[in-house]
Structure 1
Amino acid sequence: MIYADNAATTKISDKAFEKMLPFLQEQYGNASSQYSLGIKAKRAVEQARKQVAEAIGAQPAEITFTSGGSEANNWVLQGVTKLFKGEDIHIITSSIEHHSVLNVCRALETENIKVTYLQVNKNGLVLVDDVISAVKPNTKFVSIMLANNEIGTIQPIAEIGKYLHGKGILFHTDAVQAVGHIPVDINKLHVDFLSASAHKFNGAKGTGFLYKSASVDLPNLVFGGKQEHGYRAGTENVAGIVAAGYAIEENVKEMRKTAERLQAMVQTTVSEIRERIPDVWINGNAELRLPGTVNLGFNGVSGESLMNILDLKGVCVSTSSACNSGNDEPSHVLLALGVSEEQAKSAIRISYGKYNTIEEAEYVASAICDAYSKIKSAI
């Protein structure tokens, strides 16, 4: 089995797995307990908070652990609107955001909150000038993802953030696909909030975090006890949090070398496919994208058919975001690029991770070409 769908989830790193195991077995104490077993768990949580904070240039007190990126996104969007309750609220986001942002925005619209959904260019980029043009006197909040989960395009968050901070507008970025894979520094990005998910950077599923600037407050996510600075009550997922800390620390340390390997794998895959299928195209920005992700379109074939044949060949790729799998509708991200429904349905996403090899990339390319030829010959 060759796993080439790391944008959906990643294999937990050996080190993160090793570090989390004791907190599932011997050191299973509740981090809120006052005896030694609980104190050890609390110290482990705070150590992970420090590791996460250092990885993105934040302070430990600015990190709140959540169940994942979707929860963090929901908390920010719903929380900010509560901060301005009773006021005329306008929000700006993009048309290619993850559904954990888009669906919250649609729900907020039913509460008379105005939302502007910015279009992107053919490369999947949000233009800074479009953000500036969309700002109104009542704009309170902007949410633009750092890197797209389907096409990998990296957005000009630093430029957008610098402008918004000059206007006193709160700014959030969904960095789920970016953290642990490209350099992320909240100070350089000029963001007030940043969300991430551990299973996207070789941590465990069920753990994520929200960076919240110390200068901004949010209403509680979960009411109850005093866990997570009082913002998110409930017994902490100590093992998952520990794994997140070591996984992000490890990935940041290895980031440059890993990125070079991933870029080489993508280049090999695309080059070999183009030799046999000259009219294949890249959806999104061919250069300004995550190092291991590429979204390819194929004339006259179904991406779903390609994916199914590749599965039989032992290769895992996807046709869209894992959160949207099983939906017959074409990808909202690809449609936003201006491609037709037929072209959108012809696409597959390949996303390599730190455990893939160049030999696997060569096999993936060959398997895709063979699958394509099989489908074309049957038409």
Structure 2
Amino acid sequence: MIYLDYQATTPLAPEAREAMLRWLGGPGSDGFGNPSSPHRMGRMARAAVELAREQVAALMPAGGRVIFTGGATEALNLAIRGTGGEGAVACSSIEHSAVGDTARAAGAVHVIRVTDEGLSALSCDGFEDARLIAVMHVNNEIGTVQPMEEWAQAAQDKGVPFLCDAVQSYGRFELPKADLIAISAHKFHGPKGIGALWVRDGVALSEVQTGGGQESGLRSGTLSPALIAGMGAAAALSGERMEADRAHVEMLWARARELFAHWTLNGSAEHRWHGNLNIRRDGLDVARLMSDCREIMFSAGSACASGSGRPSHVLKAIGLTDAEARSSIRLGFGRYTTLGEIEEAAARINAAAEAQGL
């Protein structure tokens, strides 16, 4: 099998797996303590958690704290609901549903439009009552990179917090000077089931889940030292390998663009994470293509929305018709993808598309 779905999840780094093993525990082990317990095993587990917190924070802006969560969806919920107050949430039309749906559930929403290249229009006109601005750093479906520093400044000028969904950018880009940043470990070669919300010093946040307040009184529940240690190791490795990973992805991107030259690129080619190739062929039957190429793991859109049957809201937001959106595929690659895998996948996908008469 060839794995080309890095936006959905990434392979677990061996270093992250190794960091987790000690804290999975078991009879006779000293690594299964509850990090909230005051005894020696609990203190050992707490030390592992705090080391990971430092490792995760090292790739964040200075002057904030890391709150561990069960994933980015929980982190985004904590940010949107925890900031509270009167007014609407302003968010872009291509946000992940964890932002869009949560913002709508929490109250009024102002939609920030995007261009046909998938770039958010830098304007706060009509957002006078906004209490929070939320803009995704790197889009999960088309990979476009938003003007984050400008949005951070716009939020500051309005005197409201700025929330950054950095799920697809953490460990790959320098993060913006936001007030709240959400991440998920399994998107940068860590384990699933663990994420974090970074909160800038001085930003007021209320607890939205009661039951113990283990994480600074903001998030309740027993922490998993194993998952957190894996996340910390993955974060540290991403920091060490950032330049090498980017160079590798650029090489794969250049070759993939050659191999899929007859496909249309969705979204900006320039303002984009080049580990995301979202392309289309008019008239393509994507379901048939995926069946014909079942040994290649790629996507027809976001993994979170793939079962909805609806065309991608992201592709619709950049002006594609329903038919164009449904004839699009997403190829995601990264650290552990080889050039040979890209070439073999392209040959199979192109052959399958041509068999449809395209």
**How does the TM-score come out when normalised to structure 2?**
0.96
Once the two structures are superposed, what CA deviation does each residue of 1:199-252 show, in whole Å capped at 9, x if it has no partner? 000000000000111211211132222411121121101111110011011012
Match of 1:306?
A: 289
Match of 1:126?
A: 120
Structure 1 CA distance for aligned equivalents of residues 322 and 93 of structure 2: 16
> Normalized per residue, which structure has more helix?
1
Matched, 1:295 2:299: no
Structure 2 CA distance for aligned equivalents of residues 282 and 291 of structure 1: 12
Q: What is the SS of the residue equivalent to 2:201?
A: coil
Structure 2 CA distance for aligned equivalents of residues 134 and 216 of structure 1: 24
Q: What is the SS of the residue equivalent to 2:91?
A: strand
Shift of 1:273: 2.2
Match of 2:81?
A: 78
Shift of 1:183: 2.2
Q: Percent identity?
A: 36
Structure 2 CA distance for aligned equivalents of residues 301 and 65 of structure 1: 42
Matched, 1:363 2:344: yes
Match of 2:11?
A: 11
Once the two structures are superposed, what CA deviation does each residue of 1:110-155 show, in whole Å capped at 9, x if it has no partner? xxx3311121100100021x2x32431x221111111100000010
Match of 2:238?
A: 251
Q: After the TM superposition, which residues 40-51 of structure 1 pair with which residues of structure 2 at under 5 Å, given as runs? A: 40-51=44-55
Matched, 1:283 2:283: no
Match of 1:35?
A: 39
Match of 1:55?
A: 59
User: Contact 2:117–2:266 (CA<8 Å) still a contact in 1?
Assistant: yes
Task: Give the residue type in structure 2 aligned to 1:76.
Answer: A
Task: Give the residue type in structure 2 aligned to 1:299.
Answer: D
Structure 2 CA distance for aligned equivalents of residues 180 and 307 of structure 1: 30
Task: Give the residue type in structure 2 aligned to 1:174.
Answer: D
Shift of 1:23: 0.2
Match of 1:374?
A: 355
The runs of at least 4 consecutive aligned structure 1 residues that moved more than 6 Å come to: none
Match of 1:140?
A: 131
Q: What is the SS of the residue equivalent to 1:65?
A: strand
Shift of 1:291: 2.6
Structure 1 CA distance for aligned equivalents of residues 287 and 225 of structure 2: 38
Structure 2 CA distance for aligned equivalents of residues 155 and 303 of structure 1: 28
User: Contact 1:148–1:154 (CA<8 Å) still a contact in 2?
Assistant: yes
Q: What is the SS of the residue equivalent to 2:58?
A: helix
Task: Give the residue type in structure 2 aligned to 1:114.
Answer: A
User: Contact 2:61–2:177 (CA<8 Å) still a contact in 1?
Assistant: no
Once the two structures are superposed, what CA deviation does each residue of 1:293-345 show, in whole Å capped at 9, x if it has no partner? 1100112112232222221xx21100010001122110000000101110000
Task: Give the residue type in structure 1 aligned to 2:251.
Answer: A
Gaps of 5+ in 2: none
Task: Give the residue type in structure 2 aligned to 1:147.
Answer: V
Shift of 1:58: 3.5
Once the two structures are superposed, what CA deviation does each residue of 1:148-201 show, in whole Å capped at 9, x if it has no partner? 0000001001111012212211110111111112222xxxx2311000000000
User: Contact 2:248–2:334 (CA<8 Å) still a contact in 1?
Assistant: no
Gaps of 5+ in 1: none
Task: Give the residue type in structure 1 aligned to 2:3.
Answer: Y
Shift of 1:51: 0.6
**How does the TM-score come out when normalised to structure 1?**
0.91
Structure 2 CA distance for aligned equivalents of residues 370 and 237 of structure 1: 46
Match of 1:354?
A: 335
Shift of 1:68: 0.4
Structural RMSD (CA): 1.3
Which of 40, 64, 69 matches 1:66?
69
Which of 152, 159, 174 matches 2:165?
174
Structure 2 CA distance for aligned equivalents of residues 43 and 338 of structure 1: 50
Task: Give the residue type in structure 2 aligned to 1:39.
Answer: R
